[in-house]
Structure 1
Amino acid sequence: MVTYRVLLDTRRPKSDGTYAVIIRTTFNRKSSTSNTGVWIQKEFWCDNKSNVISTHPNHKLLNKKITEVYLKVQKSVIELEAEEDFSFDGLKDQLDGSRKAQKISNSMSFNQYANQLVAEMFAINKAGNAIIYQTATNRLMGYTNKPVLKFTEINYTFLDGFRRQLIK
């Protein structure tokens, strides 16, 4: 289960005495932090409510920004948990907006990706590499005995078994 909480990071103050407001995400007893972009002084932070107190002149705007970032983290965590593929790297990628590699793995099978790559190699006159890639793909598909191989099925034990078969 993934938990996330808004905190004032009092470990490293800026030179003007302000601290970063962060979101700490915890999964399997390991944690990671995401910066909200909000910096405030310690006396304007309410630990119980995890927000900027009303004595700060811009408390509404700052709380709105913190809430927006919190909701973005929450949405990303829920999406990753729904895919049963939560990791801190995946969360950071999704928060940064660079989910291209993840979308390739979800929308394409290994076969489709390999065939597309080989076709692109032939198109740019790199036939030598294309033939080697095609041969490696054929050997891998021969090892699996499946017509379609998903990226999620490729893990360390799968690759180790494939390596052992190649050595024989």
Structure 2
Amino acid sequence: MATHIKLSLDTRRKDTKTFPLIFRLTHNRKTTSIGTGHQLFVSDWDQKRHQIKPSFKGTESPARLNNLLQKRMAYMVDMLTQLEDNNKLKYMSVSEVRSYITRTSNKVTFYQFTEQQIQDMLKSKRVGNARVYKHTLNAVKNFRKSKDFTFDELNLDFLNRFEKYHLGKGNKLGGLSVYLRTIRAINRKAIKSGIADNEGYAFNDYIIRSGKPEKRALPINAIRKIAELELDENTALYRDRNIFMMSFLLNGMSFVDMAHLKLSNLIDGRIKYSRKKTNEPYNIKIHNQLKPFLTFFTKGKEKSDYLLNIIKSDIPTDSYNQIVWARKRFNDNLKKLAELAGIEENITSYAARHSFASGANDMGIPLTAISQMLGHKRISTTQAYLANLRKSKMDEYQDEIFGQLSEKRTIS
């Protein structure tokens, strides 16, 4: 048979530390790959035996994962053998062979795949993401009355019925939007892993309606009013005002990322860390205006100490709950700060991030630069992020255009 398949680590990219584990399919001297959904360090891959080493930390049991991968490969090899026995294989292209064996080998269900994603997130200490996936899985199970299904059944009709079911129970559009965006993310990961078929991707035809409230960015003069409030240093208001200003002066750093900052992240006049949401490395200059606020949180602390003293536990679920409660108290105090500063806008922990993004956009800073400063992986994310922050600027342009109608002109 001029066709074979093997498990291998794809180390072609040189700009990364971990590499995708793939099934490499060769057919008539042409090759293609089938993803497994796993990323490994070279040190965790046994090249001689074509299997994952026990040192791999990306799963609870490397031995069990090796067994599952071998079963999946055996199933695909069996499909290849059947094609050859039926004299069909030689007439197929390598892409047709790939499509056939990935579609027919799809035995992983939606529930199984999602549960695995949740476990992987918990192991990576991405507790917030894991909870969103768990809530979404529970919502789907309620809709399906716990009946499992394959990704082939995740079609346009499924999405429309899920929407009707959710809204029919009196739930809000915002919750539906979160569930559907999570289902979409799960579907995309399944396609990348070779579990689902790209041809059956229903979100090409389904539009997720946004239920998010309009986000309000603060003008720079409102930010200045908050910064200049005279507050007692021994109060929670003083502390939370400083956290708000730090968020703004750190390019709109999220509350979760600030909660995870340690003094060890302060290196040579910069703050270096990885975003919890995306795990992307981030490097920010410590601006002179940031230093007074930063000094308040660094007094008398060691390099291993957290900057904000929010996280008290090494257990990811506990630390996540501690951040949630701290953010609730922070939002309550932001309302009080807004009142003291005479600001009518509703302020939450996201206001500093939105204000930074909006201010940068109004100044004409290139979208690519704003995207990098916000820590977005894709410019499209930044475009969507800024879409509802531009209204005030559009109003100014409108006033400028229509204002010409009332200008007095001298007729000679």
More strand by share: 1
Q: TM-score, normalised by structure 1?
A: 0.50
